[in-house]
Chain A
Amino acid sequence: MNPDVLFFFETVISGLMAGVMYALVALGFVLIFKASGVFNFAQGVLALFAALTLTGVMEKFGLPAWAGIIVTILVMIAVAWLIERLVLQHLVNQEPIILFMATIGLAYVIEGTGDILWGSNVKVLDIGLPQGASDFLLDNYNLYVEKLEIVAAVTSAILVAVLAVFFQKTRIGRALRAVADDHQAALSVGISLRTIWVVVWSVAGIVALVAGIMWGTKSGVQFSLSLIALKALPVLILGGFTSIPGAIVGGLIIGVGEKIAEIYAGPIIGGAIENWFAYMLALAFLLFRPQGLFGEKIIERV
């Protein structure tokens, strides 16, 4: 194959894989936004905390990876319960901006707790996910693709499928959407906000764990992990805050877009495009399609 074409494919594939990683984080945001209309600033920190907890329990108690994951899931559920108990419960029917501010505070509390519990040094996370390039693709097609990224893509696909069914087809999904629309009305028909919030924050915590595992395996568990939340923001603007498929498509577009821009436009207009491309794209979307690709258009009757 023509080396230029091959190189283009490699660029696109590595972009897609990076996009999957962004999408994983964005997914956690969408879940909580759908169920409570809150932009959860703490989502990135949740991913960090989950990864820290996983490495922590594996190191300190010498647990095998599967046991470590189960323990971490339980911890994330406990965290969700605590967040509901200590924060959200007291903010029922408040303006979204107040809940948003609360999640900012929450982010610092969770980050600090992670630091106290597990220390702030960079940790290696190895739960036995395959590392390195896929030999099969390298030998047969001369394509360089990380095995880990393939695992991340497959995992995300499964996660999205499960969540989509959960939201659209089940009674609790309907209850979640109801809560997202109107707290008071949801209460009046007998939906317990507390249960819903614990469920949705637990699910967001588990999604954060998946994201934390993937990012942690790739670049070590470090506190800068919580900053990937910033990359999720343009993904959400692109995909729409309320759409699970939107989070995925938005992530992929940004992943591929920034890689292509970096490699093909970089030499012309200068490097480091990767750092700002996503935000420029988000800005363009805000101007021309503020609800994103898949978001619900909000029609206000006046």
Chain B
Amino acid sequence: MTNDSAAALADAHAANTHHAHAMHTPEARARRIGEVILDVQNITLRFGGVVANSNVSFDIRKGEIRAIIGPNGAGKSSMLNVINGFYHPQEGTITWKGKARAKMQPHEAAATGIARTFQNIALFRGMSTLDNIMTGRVTKMKRGLLAHALHWGPALKEEIEHRSFVEQVIDFLEIQHIRNVPVGRLPYGLQKRVELGRALAAEPELLLLDEPMAGMNLEEKEDMSRFILDVNDEFGTTIALIEHDMGVVMDLSDRVVVLDHGSKIADGTHEEVQGDQRVIDAYLGVAHDDEEEA
């Protein structure tokens, strides 16, 4: 499947009535999904002799939930790291919001509206939930450092405004009870939620979630799925997520891109990719040496 058929896919999705959540009707979602916001073309990422991504192309449309799946070592996390600027691919182009993006540092990517969570939770462990989520507002703060240091009028007002936004995020994620607890002390599931909160506080246009449900029990997974859908629904946030749980992927995603051994092997709705022989082979571990590009 190529990018050319992406529009067709979106239409196809409109006809798709398979969805677990009644409020997220396919029609509503199809209406919401818009233009391509991120276009990744021919990305090749190498670490010395190891090829992490090989000639990978796909796009992400505004307002959709895009899943990136694949077996372990398929290059999924590398791809997220390329998108948010941690890694710089040797080849390929990334077009973000219609502009071809030069080599971009992570904090610059954050400033242009890309937020993320990590596979292994990367929170500021010594800081409270509230402070962690407040750091998500960094890119939104305008007043100078000196003004902040002095708690000078407008800076104080700005701090209060940001604080009230963060309180909304906390309410939304239902974590009021842990707002002053240092996150290092929280159980795993809640830490994941705080990390999502920090990403949301940045009001991102593109939210990258690296295995948001890894290591969670069923109840926690359901909560997290609901939050992800609500974020997408209420704020129209575009989401790209890596996930291993196929049930979750089916429930959440509009389109799925499948990576294996660093290369893209399928792209489409989950029904389409599920039926794809190469995907089945990749997951069942059938020898596929003849297909390797690297």
User: In the complex the two chains form, is A178's CB within 8 Å of B135's CB?
Assistant: yes
| Residues on the B chain within 8 Å of A185, using CB | 118, 122-124
Q: How far is the CA of A171 from the CA of B141 in the complex (A)?
A: 9
Q: A166-B149, A171-B141, A192-B107 are in contact. Are A186 and B126 (CB under 8 A)?
A: no
**Cα–Cα, bound, A199→B138 (Å):** 16
Residues on A with C-beta less than 8 A from B184 are 299
How far does the Cβ of A183 sit from chain B's closest Cβ, in whole Å?
A: 9
Question: In this complex, what residue of A is CB-closest to B141?
Answer: A171
User: Given the known A-B contacts A182-B122, A190-B202, are A172 and B106 also in contact in the complex, defined by CB atoms under 8 Å?
Assistant: no
Measured CB to CB, the nearest residue on chain A to B191 is: A301
Residues in chain B near residue A177, CB distance under 8 A:
124, 126-127, 131
Return the CB mask of A165-182 against B: 1 if under 8 Å, else 0.
Answer: 110011110110110111
Instruction: Tell me if A191 counts as interface (CB < 8 A to partner B).
Output: yes
Question: Is A48 an interface position by the 8 A CB rule?
Answer: no
- CB closest residue in chain B, given A169: B151
29 inter-chain pairs at a CB distance below 8 angstroms, sorted by A residue, are: A165-B149, A166-B149, A169-B149, A170-B149, A170-B151, A172-B149, A174-B127, A174-B135, A175-B135, A175-B138, A177-B124, A177-B126, A177-B127, A178-B127, A181-B124, A181-B126, A182-B122, A182-B124, A184-B118, A185-B124, A188-B84, A188-B116, A188-B118, A189-B136, A190-B110, A190-B202, A192-B107, A242-B126, A299-B185
Complex Cα gap A192–B110 (Å): 10
With contacts A184-B118, A187-B107, A192-B107 taken as known, whether A174 is within 8 angstroms of B134 at the C-beta atoms is yes
CA A192 to CA B151, docked complex, whole Å: 22
Instruction: List, in ascending order, chain B residues with CB within 8 A of A175's CB.
Output: 135, 138
A-side residues, CB < 8 A to B, are 165-166, 169-172, 174-175, 177-178, 180-182, 184-193, 199, 242, 296, 299
Chain B residues 95-132 with CB under 8 Å of chain A are 105-107, 110-111, 115-116, 118, 122-127, 131
Whole-angstrom distance between the Cβ of A187 and the nearest chain B Cβ? 4
What secondary structure prevails in chain A residues at the interface with B?
A: helix
Looking at the complex, which one of A170, A181, A188, A199 makes contact with B127 (CB distance below 8 Å)?
A181
Closest B residue to A296 using CB positions:
B126
Asked if B193 CB lies within 8 Å of chain A CBs, one says no
Chain B residues 20-76 with CB under 8 Å of chain A are none
A124 to B169, CA, bound (A): 58
CB of A92, distance to nearest CB on chain B (Å): 10
B105, B125, B136, B159 interface centre (most CB from chain A within 10 Å): B125
| Closest chain A residue, CB of each to CB of B139 | A190
Chain B residues closer than 8 Å to A170, beta-carbon distance: 145, 148-149, 151
Residues of A near B84 (CB, < 8 A) are: 188
With A185-B118, A189-B136: A178-B124 Cβ-Cβ less than 8 Å: yes
User: A191 touching B86 by the CB < 8 A rule?
Assistant: no
B198 interface contact, C-beta 8 A: yes
- Cβ of B125 and Cβ of A181 under 8 Å apart? yes
Task: Find out whether the CB atom of A189 lies under 8 angstroms from the CB atom of B145.
Answer: no
Cα–Cα distance between A174 and B134 once the two chains are bound (Å): 9
> CA separation between A173 and B202, bound complex, in Å?
18
Q: Which residues of A contact B106 (CB under 8 A)?
A: 184, 187-188
Report B-chain residues with C-beta under 8 Å of the C-beta of A182.
122-125
Beyond contacts A170-B145, A188-B115: 13 other A-B pairs, Cβ-Cβ < 8 A, are A171-B145, A171-B148, A175-B138, A177-B131, A181-B127, A184-B122, A185-B118, A188-B110, A188-B118, A189-B136, A190-B107, A191-B107, A299-B185
CB atoms of A191 and B124 under 8 A apart:
no
For A193, the closest partner residue in chain B by CB is B107
Query: How many angstroms from the CA of A182 to the CA of B118 in the assembled complex?
Result: 12
| List of A residues within 8 angstroms of B199 by Cβ | 189
Q: A161 CA to B119 CA in the complex, in Å?
A: 39
Query: Which residues of the partner chain A approach B127 to less than 8 Å between Cβ atoms?
Result: 174, 177-178, 181
CA distance A187 to B124 in the complex (A): 12
- How far is B138's CA from A153's CA once the two chains are assembled, in angstroms? 36
Which chain B residues border A188 with CB–CB below 8 Å? Answer: 84, 86, 106, 110, 115-116, 118, 122
Separation of A186 and B139 alpha carbons in the complex (Å): 11
What is the bound-complex CA distance between A189 and B114, given in angstroms? 9
Report the separation of the CA atoms of residues A190 and B199 in the bound assembly, to the nearest whole angstrom.
10
Inter-chain contacts of B145 with A (CB < 8 A) = 170-172, 199
User: 3 closest A-B pairs (Cβ-Cβ)?
Assistant: A190-B110, A185-B122, A181-B124
- The one of B115, B126, B135 in contact with A191, judged by C-beta atoms closer than 8 angstroms, is B135
State in angstroms the CA–CA spacing of A151 and B115 once bound together: 48
Q: Which residues of B contact A166 (CB under 8 A)?
A: 149
- Complex formed: what's the CA distance from A284 to B25 in Å? 66
Q: In chain A, what residue has the closest Cβ to B182?
A: A296
Most chain B CB neighbours (cut-off 10 Å) among A181, A184, A199, A296: A181
B110 proximity list for chain A (CB < 8 A): 187-190
B105, B107, B111, B159: the one contacting A171 at CB < 8 Å is B159
Output the nearest chain A residue to B185 by Cβ-Cβ distance. Answer: A299
How long is the Cα–Cα vector from A177 to B127 in the complex, in angstroms? 8
Q: What is the distance, in angstroms, from B111's C-beta to the closest C-beta of chain A? A: 5
A199: B residues at CB distance < 8 A = 145
Complex interface: chain A residues within 8 A of B202 (CB): 189-190
Q: Which residues of A contact B115 (CB under 8 A)?
A: 188-189
Residues of A within 8 A of B105 (CB): 187, 192
